[in-house]
Structure 1
Amino acid sequence: MFGRRRRRDEETPAVAEETARMPERESGPWDAEEPHPERERVDLGGLRLPVGPGFEIQLNLSGDRIVGAVVLVDGSALQVHAFAAPKRSGIWDEVRAELVAAVKKAGGAAEEAQGPFGTELLARVPAEEGPQPVRYLGIDGPRWFLRAVLSGRAAQDAEAAAVLEDVVRDIVVVRGDEPMPPHEPIELRLPPEARQAAEGQGPGRPGLDPFERGPEIAEIR
């Protein structure tokens, strides 16, 4: 009788430790400091970006700084940027209003809708080939804000969108501890394998082209 009780007590710490490692939420985007599932991700410093078969990754540049990334797959594009945000409040409401104003000023249209990450924007933005559908997603995290933009097939096709929505759910944001003003982009960096390829020291990761600028869609901070 006492032996069974001791065995249960001995098992408790291991069970508690395993529980602590499990995510408290079912999906992300994840903060680097919270438990999250392990999987293959490209380490871009401020973002750890999931990769999958057929993915091509490009980087957004602002001058010499890497400030965002684009995932291209099967006629769809996902553009992601991470920004600093206040500790106790999000900025998606503010950013969303700015996006609506910018799209309308450019001659496009935008309206709010409910999506898998909460309120999002469905927009049509001017382009050389005519107005293009775009979805703007925003996720407020702890001291960071993640903006995701779906274009191409994923802007209208649910099946194509699901692939890239899963990417958003598995992104890890690395905010860091340094003070940053709200709306300041969280700077990214080339992953080690891409830096080695750029320096002629290695083959690099297939599907990662660090020297391509991704499509810029209504760039609003």
Structure 2
Amino acid sequence: MAVFGRRKKGADAAQDAATSEEVEPTTPADDASTDVDDLDAGDLDADAVDLDEPSAEDDEAARRRRSKLRPREEVDLSDGPYDSASAPTRDEMDFGSLRLVPTADIELRLDVDETSQTLTGMTAVFGEAGTSAVQLQVFAAPKTTGVWYGIRREIAEAIVAGGGTAEEVDGPLGTELHVRMPSQGPDGRTTFSPARFVGVDGPRWFLRAVLSGDAATDDGAAARAMEFVRTVVVHRGSDPRAPRELLELTLPPELMAQAQASAQEHEQHTDAPTVGPLERGPEIAETR
């Protein structure tokens, strides 16, 4: 598995379209899919809930939340993706809330928030010319209900409102959302980027995978993407989290050390600016 410090911008148009801010899950403060009654003490920080007397607007918001509540889909996860409490013992790369099995045919790009310089997700790129990609993000979820039902409805509504299309399709990990997202091409014409949103409601976590490029339209590439998704291990942790809060990702110590060493060597031998630990850095090739 080749690991780079930052996902490309510009060249990966399909990936960028599939993970645009317009279709991101809402933040905890705007959560529209989970009722407070559905949470236990470990699911939500105390200051995340307004305990004032409910108004008519609050009642309407609660009604909308209830309309998007659904039990978790009954999906067989015995072959992954896994919860860390029941995952098999394997050689893995530990990114905190996500653990991945290295494979030789996948290049892993880390999605970094430009402002906070924190990891927000990972994008696995594969195929002979890097024409397929799958982005992974993991979020906190309630104890007794799933969030995928509500999230995919919101994604579909946003895409359709923007002139695209969205269709629910049965997939190997439950209901998927297959979309065509509109964007303006260089000549001013509207083009459409296909993507497949896959959601997995686990025990107090939600894993979202977005397949783009060939993986969104080609059955063989999609199967390889899903094979990778099934190797993922999610480590939720015991800290209280609001529903849909992004779970923390961290760089494995061995990658951080190598990135820092490379930056120091680069600084000693050139006058170019130093490459930081989360900038695009050295390729780390691991074969099994």
**Does the C-alpha gap of structure 1 residues 210 and 38 become closer, same or farther in structure 2, counting only changes over 3 Å?**
farther
Which of residues 216, 235, 239 is equivalent to 1:174?
235
Residues 1:50 and 2:95 are matched in the alignment: no
**Could you list the per-position Cα deviations for residues 160-188 of structure 1 after superposition, in whole angstroms to 9, with x for gaps in the alignment?**
11111011111000100000000000010
Measure, in 1, the Cα distance between the counterparts of 2:203 and 2:139.
Answer: 11
**Could you list the per-position Cα deviations for residues 1-54 of structure 1 after superposition, in whole angstroms to 9, with x for gaps in the alignment?**
xxxxxxxxxxxxxxxxxxxxxxx95311101011x2333432111101233222
TM-score by length of 2: 0.59
Which of residues 132, 156, 159 is equivalent to 1:76?
132
8 Å contact kept, 1:194–1:210:
no
Deviates more, 1:135-144 or 1:38-47: 38-47
Secondary structure of 1:89's counterpart equals: coil
Deviates more, 1:25-34 or 1:185-194: 25-34
Question: Which of the two has greater strand per residue?
Answer: 1
Measure, in 1, the Cα distance between the counterparts of 2:163 and 2:197.
Answer: 17
- Match for residue 68 of structure 2? none
- Match for residue 211 of structure 1? 279
- Match for residue 192 of structure 2? 131
* Matching residue's letter, 1:41: E
**Unaligned runs of at least 5 residues, structure 1:** 1-23, 203-208, 213-221
- Match for residue 6 of structure 2? none
TM-score by length of 1: 0.77
| TM-superposed deviation, 1:198 | 2.2
Which of residues 214, 219, 240 is equivalent to 1:153?
214
8 Å contact kept, 1:58–1:210:
no
**Does the C-alpha gap of structure 1 residues 181 and 131 become closer, same or farther in structure 2, counting only changes over 3 Å?**
same
**Does the C-alpha gap of structure 1 residues 148 and 25 become closer, same or farther in structure 2, counting only changes over 3 Å?**
closer
Secondary structure of 1:79's counterpart equals: strand
**Does the C-alpha gap of structure 1 residues 126 and 51 become closer, same or farther in structure 2, counting only changes over 3 Å?**
farther
Secondary structure of 1:211's counterpart equals: coil
Aligned residues: 182
**Unaligned runs of at least 5 residues, structure 2:** 1-75, 186-190, 264-276, 281-288
* Matching residue's letter, 1:43: D
Measure, in 1, the Cα distance between the counterparts of 2:254 and 2:161.
Answer: 41
CA RMSD of aligned residues (A): 2.0
8 Å contact kept, 1:59–1:211:
no
* Matching residue's letter, 1:26: S
8 Å contact kept, 1:58–1:211:
no
Measure, in 1, the Cα distance between the counterparts of 2:159 and 2:91.
Answer: 35
**Does the C-alpha gap of structure 1 residues 41 and 188 become closer, same or farther in structure 2, counting only changes over 3 Å?**
same
